[in-house]
Structure 1
Amino acid sequence: MNIKKYIFAIALIVIAISACKKDDDVEATIVPPRDRAEQQVTDHALIEEYLKTHFYTLEDVDVNGDGTIEYQITKFDTIAGDNIGQQPIMDSELLTSKKITREDVEYTLFILGLKDGVGEHKPTFADSTLITFRGELFYGDDKLFDSAVNPSWFDLGGGVIDGFRQSMLDFKGAAPNPIINPDGSVTYSGFGELVVFIPSGLAYFADAREGVPSYSSLIFNIQLYDVNECDHDRDGIPSYLEDLDGDELVLDTGDDTDSDTVPNYVDTDDDGDGTQTKDEITVNDLNGDGFITLDEITFYDDDGDGIKNHLDPDDIDSKNE
């Protein structure tokens, strides 16, 4: 045996064991999330200060460079120097606020309602919306972190932050029958336009995203063109009507009747009784507009216990055979 190789091998093993032991001895440092109530106080103060010290202007956007202005984006600047006489955003008659409670903390959204749409429908918290948008930080050298310059569909029921979702609920989309251009692009008129100022508790909170540090309050400039009422599981009940606990969230455990970890809005059998939800109700779109309202759904309670059939595993008879 080559004694040098043997000694070298033993040395490597000792070093490896030593290194592993050091790793085991080092305790991982886990930083707990900040207190939500305390963070909201900080965020609220930051947003109010920003609104008091900044003004906005509107800038035309020509997406295709063809001379057609598709929409306008909102640009912000500090009230100072040559801008000293500008009106603070806080003093704008277009600015409103909205209170939202999450995890026992009351948050305030500030919404600059530049223009309401002329369309017929406002989105609910579980609908799909056709929008363009810009997302940016309040401060920093590179504030822009996300945008959609061409109209894109976004599902408000899941996959968007709470403040983004809630900001659009009081706005309507564009006029019907938009113009289809020769190049395939679409020109909308009379669409809704808004800017929302979101505290971190209604955004990503402790989670960081690309371009978004933890505990960042965010600004979104949104143009709303169209609304589709969503029935994610196609059971006949619009998704917003499957929010059983009334918190305007459809992804939480309070909206899972049979506790199968599948929320009702994506569960084809809400009560898990083997009869699909669509067969335990009757739906009639009376005005044929493609939007189902509560008065267009017939619910049943066969055993008279006050629980609707589609939420009661004791009632299994199909109503649509």
Structure 2
Amino acid sequence: MKLNKFLFLYVLAGISLISCDKDDDSPEQVPPRDRGEQELTDQAALDAYLDTHFYNYEEFEAAPEGFDYKIKIDTINAANAGKTPLSESPLLETKNFDLEGVNYTYYVLKVREGASEQPQPKFSDSVYVSYEGTLLNRRTFDASQSPVWFDLTRTVTGFGLGITEFRGASGFEVQEDNTIEWNNDYGIGAVFLPSGLAYFNAFRETIPSYSPLVFAINLYGTNKADHDRDGIPSWREDLNEDQLLNNDDTDGDLMPNYADVDDDGDFIPTREEISDEDGNIIFPYPDSDNDGTPDYLDPNN
């Protein structure tokens, strides 16, 4: 049984990541602060956190018997003053992302990228992950020790950005009790996010407004997404290439292209405009009048 076929069976398990789901019930809002100013505040807090915390790198370097291959972060104090802080780890990468006029900095700790033959997920795909989400005071606000599926279009922006740096496992075995044992080459890491790439001014019961967040993650698998099943992968519906899908709406019908089966509003389904007579997808997508706009985005064709 191929990996993607097996993983598909779990899609209906749903999305349980309370910490990441954008559709939480009516979160309380507080008056928004200036995003640029808040980013400076968050960066100071993240820098201090990275300077004063370490992860269990020694366990990863010489895995003890029974090691669970999960990242655990602790505070550097007098008892462990010799530990290497996160900020000095050679595995920590600094990333940037533009959102609402602000250039945000976030950090990715890539302990293990994952199996080389597996694809890195796109920002619009679904991923099969276990995770722990914490505040900078190390309080856990949500976690799942068993893997769950997430649609990255429904998570906070920074979670989706961070997980695209990893790859899933090369495979798995189904045990006699029908549990799954994954090959031990899945992606392992953590992402450190300013509030502007998380919930910003929104208040959750376990996440105060303007909270930078930390997610420790293990990535087991990826499913490529085509949300509207129009034959175009959702990531290709990001026409302005900003890794945000909700602001791409060719026909202005308030339904973004990745969720719209007729992207140009000409009453011809997108799938028909990109397929041959046998229903096979044509790529590059057809452009009948050679004006540089493919037919599925051109209401005149």
Q: Distance in 2 between matches of 1:275 and 1:91?
A: 55
- Within 5 Å, which residues of 2 pair with 1:29-44? 32-44=31-43
Aligned length: 262
- Within 5 Å, which residues of 2 pair with 1:45-84? 45-57=44-56, 71-84=68-81
- 1:109 and 1:196 in contact (8 A); partners too: yes
The equivalent residue for 1:15 is: none
The equivalent residue for 1:241 is: 236
- 2:182 and 2:220 in contact (8 A); partners too: yes
Q: Distance in 2 between matches of 1:211 and 1:101?
A: 27
How far is the alpha carbon of 1:78 from its aligned partner? 2.0
Calculate the TM-score normalised by the size of structure 1.
0.78
* Deviation per residue, 1:143-190 (Å, 9 max, x gap): 11111211111111x2100110000112111013x0111222211121
- Between structure 1 and structure 2, the one with the greater Rg is 1
- 1:137 and 1:144 in contact (8 A); partners too: yes
The equivalent residue for 2:159 is: 164
Residues 71 and 297 of structure 1: CA distance in aligned 2, closer, same or farther (over 3 Å):
farther
The equivalent residue for 1:105 is: 102
Q: Distance in 1 between matches of 2:177 and 2:212?
A: 38
Residues 154 and 59 of structure 1: CA distance in aligned 2, closer, same or farther (over 3 Å):
farther
The yes-or-no answer on 1:215 pairing with 2:218 is no
The equivalent residue for 2:111 is: 114
- 1:282 and 1:298 in contact (8 A); partners too: no
The yes-or-no answer on 1:144 pairing with 2:140 is yes
Selected match of 2:294 from 304, 308, 315: 308
Letter in 1 for 2:50: L
4+ residue runs of structure 1 moved beyond 6 angstroms? none
The yes-or-no answer on 1:129 pairing with 2:123 is no
How far is the alpha carbon of 1:298 from its aligned partner? 3.3
Give secondary structure in 1 for the equivalent of 2:69.
Answer: strand
Structure 1: 5+ residue stretches without partners: 1-29, 61-67, 284-291, 316-321
How far is the alpha carbon of 1:120 from its aligned partner? 1.9
Letter in 2 for 1:164: F
The equivalent residue for 1:180 is: 174
* Deviation per residue, 1:295-315 (Å, 9 max, x gap): x72312223332210001111
How far is the alpha carbon of 1:59 from its aligned partner? 10
The equivalent residue for 1:21 is: none
Structure 2: 5+ residue stretches without partners: 1-28, 60-64
Q: Distance in 2 between matches of 1:31 and 1:136?
A: 21
- 1:193 and 1:223 in contact (8 A); partners too: yes
How far is the alpha carbon of 1:58 from its aligned partner? 6.3
Seq. identity, % = 44
Q: Distance in 2 between matches of 1:219 and 1:137?
A: 6
* Deviation per residue, 1:103-160 (Å, 9 max, x gap): 11111111110101114211001011011000011116xx11111211111111x210
Letter in 2 for 1:200: S
Give secondary structure in 2 for the equivalent of 1:44.
Answer: helix
How far is the alpha carbon of 1:71 from its aligned partner? 3.8
How far is the alpha carbon of 1:282 from its aligned partner? 3.0
* Deviation per residue, 1:197-226 (Å, 9 max, x gap): 100000000001121000000000000011
Residues 257 and 70 of structure 1: CA distance in aligned 2, closer, same or farther (over 3 Å):
farther
Give secondary structure in 2 for the equivalent of 1:299.
Answer: coil
The equivalent residue for 2:8 is: none
Give secondary structure in 1 for the equivalent of 2:72.
Answer: strand
- 2:30 and 2:203 in contact (8 A); partners too: no
Give secondary structure in 1 for the equivalent of 2:38.
Answer: helix
Give secondary structure in 1 for the equivalent of 2:246.
Answer: coil
Selected match of 2:256 from 241, 263, 276: 263
The yes-or-no answer on 1:275 pairing with 2:274 is no
Query: Is 200-209 or 306-315 further displaced after alignment?
Result: 306-315
